[in-house]
Structure 1
Amino acid sequence: MSKWPYNTAAWARLRTAHLSIEPLCRGCEAEGRLGTANTVDHVVPISQGGPAFPGHDGLASYCASCHSAKTARGAEAGAIRSTKPRRGCNPDGTPLDPAHPWHEKSLRAKVHVPSSHLNPQLVSGEE
C-alpha cells in the first residue's frame, strides 16, 4: 500500500471519512454477515481509469478477507487473477459460489415430511 495515492495525507483523510460513513464490510453484508471494515477500495480501480480520489459513492468498505477475495478475482489482479470460487457458506448454509450445484432449483426443492412421521405426543410440564 505504499504507492500513490495511498501514501498521501489526502487518501488518509478520505479513507478515515469513508470508514466513518460506511463502517461495515460490503462483502460480509452481501453474505448475510456483519463484519467491521478496515479497508477502503475503489469501486472502479485506478488501473481501469477510476479516479484516485473519488467521492464516497466511488469507494467501498471491506474487511481484509473480503477485500483480498475481491481483488484476487477482479480486473486489478491482472495476470495472477484467480478464477477459483470463494469457498464456504453463508450463515443460512447456502454456498458462497454462485455456480455451486446447490443453486440449481432441483436441489433446493423442499423435502416434504409426511405427518405420519411426526410425533403427535405433547410433553406436559406436570410431574
Structure 2
Amino acid sequence: MAAWPYCTTQWKKLRKAKLAHNPLCEICERRGLLVEAVAVDHFVPIRQGGAPFPELSGLLSLCEACHNEKSAGFDKHGGAAFRRRFKGFDADGNPIDPFDAWHGEGVLQGRGSPSSGTGGN
C-alpha cells in the first residue's frame, strides 16, 4: 500500500461508495440543512491511527465547508475549533455534534453514524 492512500484505486472506490450511500453532508444534515457532500473524510484521521480504508461507517460524507473546518480544526488541533461550530441540538433533541460524548463511543468506533438520528445508550 502507498504511504498515503488517497491516490489509490481502492480509496477512489471507497469514496465513490460512501458518496453514493450518503450523498449529503452528514454534519449539515444533523443541523437540518441539505447540502451536497463533495468530500469523504475519516472519523479517525490516518495520522492519529485510523484505518486508511475503513468500513463506510468509519467515514464521513462532508460538504466543502465542513471538510475544510474539520481538517483545520479537528485533525490538526484536536477538535476544539471544529466542535465550536456544532453547538446545539437537532429536532429530536440529540446533540448535533457527532463527536459529542452523549453519542457514546459508537459514532467514533463506526457503530453509528452522525446522520442516523439516533444516539445515546
Partner of 1:77: 76
Partner of 2:13: 13
Deviating beyond 6 angstroms after TM superposition, the runs of 4 or more aligned structure 1 residues are none
Q: Distance in 1 between matches of 2:30 and 2:85?
A: 13
Q: Output the amino acid matched with 2:23.
A: P
Partner of 1:56: 56
SS of the residue 1:52 aligns to: coil
C-alpha contact (below 8 Å) 2:42/2:59 kept by paired residues: yes
Q: Output the amino acid matched with 1:40.
A: V
Q: Output the amino acid matched with 2:54.
A: P
Q: Distance in 2 between matches of 1:24 and 1:84?
A: 19
RMSD: 2.7
Query: How many percent identity over aligned positions?
Result: 44
CA positional deviation for 1:86? 3.6
Instruction: Give TM-score scaled by structure 2 length.
Output: 0.61
The answer for unaligned runs of 5 or more in structure 2 is: 87-96, 98-121
Q: Distance in 2 between matches of 1:26 and 1:61?
A: 6
| Residue 27 of structure 1 pairs with residue 15 of structure 2 | no
Q: Distance in 1 between matches of 2:45 and 2:82?
A: 19
CA positional deviation for 1:72? 1.9
Structure ID, larger Rg:
1
CA positional deviation for 1:69? 1.4
The answer for unaligned runs of 5 or more in structure 1 is: 88-97, 99-127
Instruction: Give TM-score scaled by structure 1 length.
Output: 0.58
Q: Output the amino acid matched with 2:51.
A: P
Q: Output the amino acid matched with 1:67.
A: H
C-alpha contact (below 8 Å) 2:69/2:82 kept by paired residues: no
SS of the residue 1:6 aligns to: helix
Higher RCO structure, 1 or 2 (CA under 8 Å, sep 6+): 2
CA positional deviation for 1:4? 1.4
